[in-house]
Amino acid sequence: MKKLINKPEDVVTEELEGLALAYPDIVKVHFEPDFIYRADAPVKGKVALISGGGSGHEPMHGGLVGVGMLHAACPGQVFTSPTPDQMLEAAKMVNSGAGVLYIVKNYTGDVMNFEMAADMARSEGIRVLNILIDDDAAVKDSLYTAGRRGVGTTVLAEKIVGAASEKGYDLKRMADLCRKVNINGRSMGMALTSCTVPAAGKPTFDLPEDEMEIGIGIHGEPGRERMKVKTADEITEMLALAIIEDPTYSRTIRELDEEKGEWVDVALEDPPFKAGDQVLAFVNGMGGTPAIELAIIYRKLHEICEKKGLKIVRNLVGSYITSLEMQGCSITLLKMDDEMIKLWDAPVKTIGMRWGM
Amino acid sequence: MPITTVDVLTCLRKMADVIHENKEYLTDLDSAIGDADHGINMDRGFQAILKKLPSVEDKDAGTILKTSGMALVSSVGGAAGPLYGTAFMQAGMAIAGKYELEAEDLLAILDAALKGVVMRGRANLNDKTMVDAITPAVNAMREGLGNGAGTVEALEQAAAAAEKGMQDTIPMLAKKGRASYLGERSIGHQDPGATSSYLLINTMAEVARANE
């Protein structure tokens, strides 16, 4: 597989160096441990919003660091969770004293690394809360799996909760907001091709020329179902209906109980979508899919939402949470209320998303 | 003949070699039911351990293992980092201050490692994870020592049990980790975490045998 890289083991480092050079007014980069943070951090009086995950999903998360969104992002090796020391040092760098909220995508590795990081940060006197994003409707239940993966809603949460920080929300209110965004968002993705992790040198899975994978995650891992490629409209229908017709989703996740100082089980429930709901429609490219195709997907999604009585009040179309050069797309629908709409509209200035300033 | 800190260091170095030799194999296993990076990550982790060893060569075995665990946590990432890191750190705490290890200490190491993994990852038996290799190993070692086996023999019994546990993951349906998203497609593939656990336990047995 041809790639525009130098040595595979230097990919993440060189990427970070490039970003720091290209956007010195937006971000700074810290190495060993690696993290990318707002050029104006720490921001006095504001809760610091931090996320992170494997590299290979750009612009998420490093490209979403800046005013109105993340205060710091911790990049792991490609498709590999970052390590606790990264999240700890990032917290120390951007904490203004108002505490830190970690947005954690629900993958086994991310969850454990961020839990260890939260424990470490707290033992150093930093107030931390972790909120999980687990919005992937492709995963049917959590009794026999590691739970729904954190995918598209993550980007939306980072924007909405980032704006809340800017508005002066305190840590608990931000955590509650983030939890609300998570339970109101659902996503589903598909792939036309696999992707190639630089260090591995070959595609993560073999997908025949005439087949597609439905229900993929974002790490090049195989999905739930493989079938012959269908038209864009048929694919959009499969993804959208899987989201719209998904019933109430109940599960238990772990959150930090600040008072008790320990991790406790929390029961969460995602309500199903219903006619009359206001939604944000997010059509996301997996990295290798051209914009022309994303617009075709959006066209059909708009029609389906209309048919189902969902009112699209905001949208996002582009490649925001990717899997290297994978061709494919994901759809996210997020039920919006007035608070979320206002926060979505608030100004933002990051490498990957910028409006209002 | 007790195991000394020199043997512990030798074992860690041999583990690094074994992981390195099996890097592609582990990554291939992880391609089938994961995200194709287990071998790469574990190799990076053990190379990080190697870099730390000179600074703890004169320390007790507990410190050596704890330091190794911390090196893994900060270099491996993914799920393997916290799990193996916690395993090594808990193992180190179980033998804190010791420069010589008897059979019971080795059992304590494996037992603490397993408890750490279960505490951190909350996997049960038959979830198709490293727990499915380490649990039989701990049981076999405990049983072996109880039946009067020597250190080396008991470790070899543990390694054999780990190997069987690793193979037993093949028909299992994954209920934890990335493999669990595949549902029934995870059946028929050997778990990468169980495989690396077996390799590490087997190395312990081989080093003990070579040391006799």
pLDDT in tens, A158-214: 999 999 999 999 999 999 999 999 999 999 999 999 999 998 888 988 899 999 999
Interchain proximity A144–B180, CB inside 8 Å: yes
Domain extent at residue A51:
8-184+248-269+342-355
Please name every residue paired with A263 in a beta bridge, in sequence order, or none if there are none: A256
The answer on A282 and A156 residing in a single domain is no
Over residues B180-205, the mean pLDDT reads: 92
Instruction: Tell me, letter by letter, the H, E, C secondary structure of B129-158.
Output: CCHHHHHHHHHHHHHHHHCCCCHHHHHHHH
For residue B117 the two structure tokens come to 């993994």
Query: Is residue A293 scored above 80 in pLDDT?
Result: yes
**Nearest CA-CA partner of A282 in A263, A303, A301:** A301
To the nearest whole angstrom, how far is the Cα of A199 from the nearest Cα of chain B?
8
To the nearest whole angstrom, how far is the Cα of B129 from the nearest Cα of chain A?
12
Let me know if B200 is exposed, middle or buried by CB neighbors in 10 A (0-12, 13-18, 19+). buried
Query: What does the DSSP 8-state code read for residue B184?
Result: G
β-pair type (A311-318, A348-350): unpaired
Query: What does the DSSP 8-state code read for residue A342?
Result: H
Query: Is residue A225 scored above 90 in pLDDT?
Result: no
3-state secondary structure of A87: helix
Report the distance separating Cα A331 and Cα A136, nearest Å.
10
Tens of pLDDT, residues B146-163:
999 999 999 999 999 999
Query: Is residue B124 scored above 80 in pLDDT?
Result: yes
In contact, B125 and B132? CB cutoff 8 Å: yes
Report the distance separating Cα A280 and Cα A235, nearest Å.
19
Position A257: which residue type?
D
What value does the mean pLDDT of chain A take? 95
The count of domains in chain A is: 2
Report the distance separating Cα B1 and Cα A3, nearest Å.
54
Please name every residue paired with A266 in a beta bridge, in sequence order, or none if there are none: A253
Check residue A219 and give its pLDDT: 78
Report the distance separating Cα A66 and Cα A70, nearest Å.
6
Check residue A20 and give its pLDDT: 97
In contact, B49 and B8? CB cutoff 8 Å: no
Extended beta strands in chain A, E state: 27-30, 35-38, 48-55, 66-67, 72-78, 100-105, 128-133, 185-191, 211-214, 225-228, 249-257, 262-270, 278-285, 311-318, 328-335, 348-350, 354-355
The answer on A308 and A201 residing in a single domain is yes
In contact, A108 and A146? CB cutoff 8 Å: yes
Report the distance separating Cα A174 and Cα A169, nearest Å.
6
Tell me whether residue A23 is in a domain.
Answer: yes
Over residues A36-63, the mean pLDDT reads: 97
Interchain proximity A83–B74, CB inside 8 Å: yes
The answer on A38 and A88 residing in a single domain is yes
Tell me whether residue A240 is in a domain.
Answer: yes
The answer on A180 and A197 residing in a single domain is no
Interchain proximity B77–A76, CB inside 8 Å: yes
The answer on A309 and A234 residing in a single domain is yes
The answer on A219 and A152 residing in a single domain is no
To the nearest whole angstrom, how far is the Cα of B38 from the nearest Cα of chain A?
9
The answer on A239 and A174 residing in a single domain is no
Say which CATH number the domain at A32 has.
Answer: 3.40.50.10440
The answer on A346 and A221 residing in a single domain is no
Query: What does the DSSP 8-state code read for residue A272?
Result: P
The count of domains in chain B is: 1
The answer on A164 and A25 residing in a single domain is yes
Interchain proximity B73–A222, CB inside 8 Å: no
Q: Which of chain A's residues have a Cβ under 8 Å away from the Cβ of B79?
A: 81, 107-109, 112
Tens of pLDDT, residues A133-158:
999 999 876 667 788 999 999 999 99
Domain extent at residue B51:
3-211
Report the distance separating Cα A95 and Cα A87, nearest Å.
12
pTM of the model: 0.90
Alpha-helical (H) ranges within chain A are: 11-22, 84-94, 108-123, 153-167, 171-183, 232-244, 291-307, 338-345
Report the distance separating Cα B13 and Cα A3, nearest Å.
34
Check residue A11 and give its pLDDT: 97
Percentage of chain B modeled with pLDDT above 70: 100
Interchain proximity B36–A204, CB inside 8 Å: yes
| Residue A225, phi then psi, degrees to nearest 5 | -140, 145
To the nearest whole angstrom, how far is the Cα of B96 from the nearest Cα of chain A?
21
Chains A and B form CB pairs within 8 A to the count of 110
Q: Which of chain A's residues have a Cβ under 8 Å away from the Cβ of B34?
A: 221
Q: Residue A176: how many CB atoms within 10 A of its CB?
A: 14
A219 is catalytic: yes
In contact, A176 and A163? CB cutoff 8 Å: no
ipTM over 0.90: no
- Interfacial residues of A (vs B; Cβ cutoff 8 Å): 33, 54, 76-85, 107-109, 112-113, 115-116, 138-139, 144-146, 149, 197, 199-200, 204-205, 217, 219-224
3-state secondary structure of A127: coil
CA atoms within 13 A on the CB side of A284: 31
Say which CATH number the domain at B168 has.
Answer: 1.25.40.340
Report the distance separating Cα A12 and Cα A74, nearest Å.
11
The answer on A329 and A350 residing in a single domain is no
The answer on A167 and A32 residing in a single domain is yes
Please name every residue paired with A130 in a beta bridge, in sequence order, or none if there are none: A102
Interchain proximity B81–A139, CB inside 8 Å: no
In contact, A41 and A93? CB cutoff 8 Å: yes
Say which CATH number the domain at A191 has.
Answer: 3.30.1180.20
Return the top range by mean pLDDT from A260-269, B13-22, B117-126, B183-192. Answer: B13-22
For residue B57 the two structure tokens come to 């060569």
Tell me whether residue A209 is in a domain.
Answer: yes
Check residue A142 and give its pLDDT: 61
A57 is catalytic: yes
The answer on A109 and A17 residing in a single domain is yes
For residue A319 the two structure tokens come to 């490649």
β-pair type (A72-78, A185-191): unpaired
Interchain proximity B181–A139, CB inside 8 Å: yes
